Amino acid sequence: MQKVVRQVCGIDVAQNELVVCLGRLFDDFTPELYAHRSFQNSAKGFSSLLVWVKKLTVPEVPIRFVMEATGVYHEKLAYFLHENGQQLTVVLPNKISNYFRTLDVKTITDKTAAEAIARFGLERNLDSWEPPSPIYKRLRQLTRERDQVVQMRTMAKNQLHAEKAEAEPNDSSIKRIKAQIALLNKQEQEIKKELAALVKQNEEVKRKVDLITSIPGVGALTAVTILAETNGFDLIRNKRQLVSYAGLDVREKQSGTSVKGKPRISKKGNKYLRKAMHLPAWAAIRSNSRFKAIFTRLLQRHGIKMKAAVAVQRKLLEMAYIIFKTDQPYDQEYLQKTREQQLVTP
């Protein structure tokens, strides 16, 4: 008789629904997906999920819950499972999407996504999830709130411009729009002060922010956003994974000799992280000879400014990761010193 050696509950998380697939691995390494069900993405649904899983699994073998990091919709379930002593893994979305492409699946649905997550959990040795540091969670809330405020202010400024451009502008409308912009400016300043105070209170985070801001073009707000959106690079294992998580990885569609699409960034990643690198890249190109040289070389190759700027964004993000891990500030002469050392070393 076959013996169960591993059990996994794969969960595809949506805003209002959890689509679940149970899988198990036998001692002859045969996998089996054997149960499916949907639950509400709510406290009541979480409790029902646990009851259902316990009924259909072997009590002697630990059950591991596996889900994607889908924005914020997975967080309440993750905290619930952790508080109830369950083994849990939260996987970066690009990992699951890359794995999904290796499967012979013709149709992508919530059910097949849950099955892919369950298979992934059965095949891999996964790390257990731990709740993010409270400071990183708070920093993320504030940086995202600021981003929303900036977006609303941009819309208000565009509205003000359009109102003033009319043949007969409405003075009261202009007055209200200006008041709205002033309020949004005030709110942004309040958020920035709160961010600065939080960073100042935590010596370790402050030290990491200071290290990351040693990179040309990267300011304190960008450094805080990087740390907040990656939870201090908690789920990141290498530079390639980080670039993919941000959606700055290059995808190319090619099939035989007849189909060859233009390479383009995937944009299937964390939009807040991607947006945070936009302005720093242009600042680095203007102020630093190294990044300017990278930009110029790529621009001469294909003539597309934005494409060259995205390459600089990737480079800045990778450097932030390396600096965080090595605990060493940015060194403009690092490459030159490395080459000289290689020449000296026998």
Angle at 257 between CA 254 and CA 260, to 5 degrees: 35
Sign of CA dihedral 34, 25, 99, 272: positive
pLDDT value, residue 49:
96
CATH of the domain at 107: 3.30.420.40
Q: Cα-atom radius of gyration of the chain, to the nearest Å?
A: 24
Query: At which of 178, 201, 224 does a domain end?
Result: 201
Q: Specify if 17 maps to a domain.
A: yes
Q: Could you tell me if 303 and 243 lie in one domain?
A: yes
**Surface-to-core class of residue 29, CB atoms within 10 Å of its CB (0-12 exposed, 13-18 middle, 19+ buried):** exposed
Q: Spell out the residues 6+ positions from residue 139 whose beta carbon is closer than 8 angstroms to its own.
A: 195, 198, 199, 205, 224, 227, 228
pLDDT value, residue 258:
44
Contact 310, 298 (CB under 8 A): no
pLDDT value, residue 251:
59
Query: At which of 73, 93, 123 does a domain end?
Result: 123
pLDDT value, residue 263:
59
Q: Could you tell me if 89 and 114 lie in one domain?
A: yes
Angle at 98 between CA 41 and CA 252, to 5 degrees: 125
38: helix, strand or coil? strand
Tokens of 89: 């893994």
Residue 322: give the domain boundaries.
202-346
Q: Could you tell me if 236 and 156 lie in one domain?
A: no
Query: At which of 123, 149, 168 does a domain end?
Result: 123
Q: Could you tell me if 240 and 160 lie in one domain?
A: no
Angle at 218 between CA 215 and CA 224, to 5 degrees: 115
* pLDDT digits 0-9 by tens, 102-154: 887 777 788 999 999 999 999 999 989 988 889 999 999 999 999 999 999 99
Among the listed residues 128, 20, 123, 3, the one whose alpha carbon sits nearest the alpha carbon of residue 61: 3
Contact 31, 122 (CB under 8 A): yes
State how many domains the chain has.
3
Residue ranges of the chain with per-residue pLDDT less than 50:
254-261, 338-340, 342-343
CA 341 to chain CA mean position, Å: 36
Q: Specify if 129 maps to a domain.
A: no
Tokens of 16: 């209002």
This prediction's pTM: 0.79
Partners of 20 in beta bridges: 11, 37
Cα–Cα distance between 330 and 328 in angstroms, integer?
7
Tokens of 159: 């509205």
Task: Tell me the CB-side half-sphere exposure of residue 230, using CA atoms within 13 A.
Answer: 28
Q: Could you tell me if 207 and 232 lie in one domain?
A: yes
pLDDT value, residue 343:
47
Tokens of 275: 């947006």
Q: Specify if 128 maps to a domain.
A: no
pLDDT value, residue 235:
75
pLDDT value, residue 18:
95
Instruction: Report the amino acid identity of residue 20.
Output: V
Tokens of 247: 């959606």
pLDDT value, residue 116:
92
